[in-house]
Chains A and B, each alone.
Chain A
Amino acid sequence: MSETDERSDEHIATLVQSGDKEAFGVLIERYETKMTRYANKFLYNYQDRQDAVQDVFIKAYQNIQSFRTHERFSPWIYRIAHNTFLNVVRKQSREKVSFFDTDQLFGANIADEKDIDQQEQKRDREILDQCLYKLDLKYREVLVLFYFEEKDYEEISEIIQVPKATVGVRLRRGREKMRDIYNTLQETI
């Protein structure tokens, strides 16, 4: 379980599937910082965060046999984290997440913004950090995955199980809303 372990996540997941419990420790080690950082953007209470992240790893272990080793491990565990954190948020705030979402209705031809300007990304990230808590959950999750977890459209689409085009639409609308919130905050200051 050293830092220089070069085995892929998928290979380690195969070992866990075949009964190597210790190998799961390597996966925890690799993902615990990411999961804690991801949880920070949704859960503001220390204890809730700790419980939720712990829950993610427990669920990942319980469901590891459902992981298909020819696929990537990262979106799979992020999917578990996404569901776990959102369930906690929903329970706490009774925030409604509708089954029917207009963003998902139509396909839009939106290009993946991998090459977005680094400076602009940095500025967006700073703004986002300040007004994240005021954003709707459906925009918050996409923006967090894109700006903080640095996931591309394909991965975000896998994690939140929506079409890639919807990811693009939510990113665009989320950014607009984020700037509106930021401007309002600046005016009140």
Chain B
Amino acid sequence: MSEETKQHIKNIREKVLHAIIADNVTMHSRYYFLARTTLWVLGSILAFGTALFLISFIAFVFKGNALYLLPNLGPHGWLTLFISLPWIILLLVFAVFVILQVLSTHFSFVYKRPLVHTILGSIFILIVGGLAIAQTNLHERAFELSQGNKLPIAGDFYRKALVDQDNLHVGVVHLLEDASQFVLESRDGGLYTVLLSENTRMPSTTVLMEDAFIVVMGESEDDKISAIGIRPFDIGRAAFPPPRKSMPRHDFEREQLLMP
């Protein structure tokens, strides 16, 4: 060891010890580190929870708008699906996921594993967890509350989430008179005449029953929809705004009787 290095080391030891003993340098307390770790853990839990919630919300939007049926409509359906994807929420999920990854690198069980394992593992857990939450009635309940303005912050979020897509009409069957047409009341209260043909595909004719919730695939012109496919709408009433007292449901039979 050179003289210069020996002197350098001696200087360091003296300077550091002097600063410590003179209390110019103080030790952070145990609580400081405890609080920091707690914040880190809470931040990670919050990011994880937010990602789970957003993914389950995307699943709810898929179910509630019957987006999963769009590929049945061919290339146009695929394009509509692409356009109708909740992009802002997907971007939010991505941002939260990046935050979660950054926060989790603090923990040794994460940084000791290859990045691919951590990323794929968390994607898997988030998707499975998100889909599991989507199976509960959490979002349906929140949607219902939002309709009555009983959901403060996220209300608007839910109110705008469920809307009919191009060529995809969610509604309730009314006035089922014959095998060629029926009236569909959409979620916003609009009335459409759905025209059936030999080419209209549906799992079975039992789908078409009075007051049944269905999804009609097909182009609409004015108030007529040429149905190319009909599917039951599994989520049912939960994805419909509750009927408002000031706007009673249509009395179709009475309307017909009054018609000239």
Contacts and interface: CB of A to CB of B under 8 A. Distances in A.
Interface stretch (B111-119, B145-153, B168-176, B213-221): B111-119
Contacts, number: 84
Given A50-B11, A54-B15, A66 B33 contact: yes
Given A104-B115, A162-B111, A164-B112, A32 B13 contact: yes
A104 B5 CA distance: 36
B21 interface: yes
A99 to B, nearest CB: 8
Interface residues of B, number: 32
Interface in A50-90: 50, 53-54, 57-58, 61-66
A54 B114 contact: no
Given A36-B8, A105-B114, A107-B113, A62 B15 contact: no
A58 B25 contact: yes
B135 interface: no
Of A22, A29, A63, A163, most buried by chain B (CB within 10 Å of CB) is A163
Given A25-B17, A53-B12, A61-B16, A107 B114 contact: yes
B91 interface: no
A42 interface: no
A38 interface: no
Given A61-B25, A65-B28, A166 B17 contact: no
A38 to B, nearest CB: 13
Contact of A65 (B13, B15, B27): B27
18 contacts: A22-B17, A22-B21, A28-B17, A33-B1, A33-B9, A36-B8, A36-B12, A50-B11, A62-B25, A62-B26, A63-B28, A63-B33, A64-B27, A65-B32, A66-B33, A104-B114, A105-B115, A106-B116
